[in-house]
Structure 1
Amino acid sequence: MENFLPDQYSVPAGPAESEFRDRGSKFVAALRPVSTEAEALEVQQEQQRAHPKCNHHCYAYRLGRGTDRWRANDDGEPSGTAGKPILGQIDKFGISDVVIVVSRYFGGTKLGTSGLINAYREAARLALEAAPRGLRTVTTTVTLEFGYALMTPVMSALSQLNLEMADQDFSERARVTLELPESETQSTLRALKASVAGMYLETVDDEFEVEGLKVSVNPTNPR
């Protein structure tokens, strides 16, 4: 079992292909990294165009860190014989933000329910074994807005906490954007405010505000 930080999850770092054969039938699997349902469905359409002689382009995808964004589709195969076996392998490998499409070339011999389940499962497994892996971190976007009187203490605090600016705008008022790991956002902001205000960390809670410093916390995003 791999050990990740609370806001990390495993994703494919690139595409992969595989083939599985059984009694003359060939099952061609295409694995692609995706971040939306639209991207996943586009991959299925691409495989339909790439394999026009196949009558079935079955697929499954899982998105995000949780367990509620998924879909499995048998594309005309007997119910439960294709999409769910593919999804089962995705979950067994513990990977997300991925779609696997398996296109079937019929070899003239019917495989039966168990044969189909095995074939789609094995094609997906081989693609997953071939795929490079990476980690995605769920981050929180934090925007700091302040007047130039706070420029020195804010920049000093960012330096002390080793925080890199994702974006910056020094026009009429200064604006700095940070991308913080989700699980560390509140503790980092407390430390930042304490440093800017010149106070001990123990005296600053989550509701503490620094005069002249506006802090905006936006929804989380996978990076």
Structure 2
Amino acid sequence: MSEVSNGKVIYEGGSGEIEEKKSRFIANIAPVTTEEEAVAYINAMKKKYWDARHNCSAFIIGRNQELTRCSDDGEPSGTAGRPMLDVLLREGIRDVVVVVTRYFGGTLLGTGGLVRAYQGAVQEGLKNCTIIEKRPGKRLKISTDYTGLGKIQYLLAEQGVTIMDTEYAEGVELDAAVPLEQCLELEKKLTDSTSGKAKLMWEETIEFADLNGTIKVF
């Protein structure tokens, strides 16, 4: 069984902007899966905002947040990149890159002011992202007759397991994504509730997420 950990990821990136003493802080956030993708995104933002004073960045890659990088891009050490990274770590988000662009407004903010501004920009950007939580699980194919369908649907709903697809023919076949920690217990309950009449087929280990009531498999 694959080792897959839960984790929040960006499904759709977004941006946000705050202003602090006439300095503009623009956050752009995107999903990435490799360091190369993150670096390419950072470079693209630097090119887009070529006339800005600073384009500070941070990214996290890996199921267990194994790879982290951050850059102050000319701001005083520790006032931008690391505080931005801390927001992502605190939120438990992985496979993400953020660039905060600063247009200087003429007034120095001081160390504390910069930290608050860069973190505030990231938080504003996250508000405009679609964030989902990937969960490790297994696909389960359930074959049943029409008599047992109601019991199975009720049991799956009771266990919080969403049916991804249902095919109706001479019998009924359901396709569900089951969290790993529920697999053994669910199999026993389905077997007991249908007196062993339902045919259960466990398939590959997957990562999945609930996107507004729809299961998305990765």
**TM-score interval (norm. to shorter):** 0.5 to 0.7
- Aligned partners of 2:136, 2:148: CA distance in 1, in Å? 21
Root mean square deviation, CA, Å:
4.4
TM-score normalized by structure 1? 0.61
User: For residue 15 of structure 1, what is the aligned residue in structure 2?
Assistant: 14
TM-score normalized by structure 2? 0.62
- Residue aligned with 1:166, SS: strand
User: For residue 89 of structure 1, what is the aligned residue in structure 2?
Assistant: 87
Structure with greater strand percent: 2
- Residues 140 and 179, structure 1, Cα contact 8 Å, conserved in 2: yes
> Which of 120, 124, 127 is residue 125 of structure 1 equivalent to?
120
Amino acid at match of 1:34: P
Which stretches of structure 1, 4 residues or more, deviate above 6 A after TM superposition? 10-14, 170-174
1:112-134 deviation digits (Å, cap 9, x = unpaired)? xx946752542222441564386
1:137-174 deviation digits (Å, cap 9, x = unpaired)? 5252313165xxx4346634422312542134568997
- Residues 56 and 76, structure 1, Cα contact 8 Å, conserved in 2: yes
Relative to structure 1, is the Cα distance of residues 127 and 104 closer, same or farther in structure 2, using a 3 angstrom cutoff?
same
- Aligned partners of 2:76, 2:52: CA distance in 1, in Å? 16
Relative to structure 1, is the Cα distance of residues 188 and 9 closer, same or farther in structure 2, using a 3 angstrom cutoff?
farther
1:42 shift after superposition = 5.4
1:53 shift after superposition = 0.9
> Which of 134, 138, 141 is residue 141 of structure 1 equivalent to?
138
The number of aligned residues is: 198
- Residues 61 and 72, structure 1, Cα contact 8 Å, conserved in 2: yes
Task: Among all aligned residue pairs of Structure 1 and Structure 2, give the percentage whose two residues are the same amino acid.
Answer: 22
Relative to structure 1, is the Cα distance of residues 142 and 16 closer, same or farther in structure 2, using a 3 angstrom cutoff?
same
- Residues 158 and 164, structure 1, Cα contact 8 Å, conserved in 2: no
Relative to structure 1, is the Cα distance of residues 42 and 184 closer, same or farther in structure 2, using a 3 angstrom cutoff?
farther
User: For residue 71 of structure 1, what is the aligned residue in structure 2?
Assistant: 69
> Which of 51, 54, 65 is residue 52 of structure 2 equivalent to?
54
User: For residue 206 of structure 2, what is the aligned residue in structure 1?
Assistant: 219
* Largest Rg, 1 or 2: 1
1:178 shift after superposition = 0.7
> Which of 81, 102, 105 is residue 104 of structure 1 equivalent to?
102
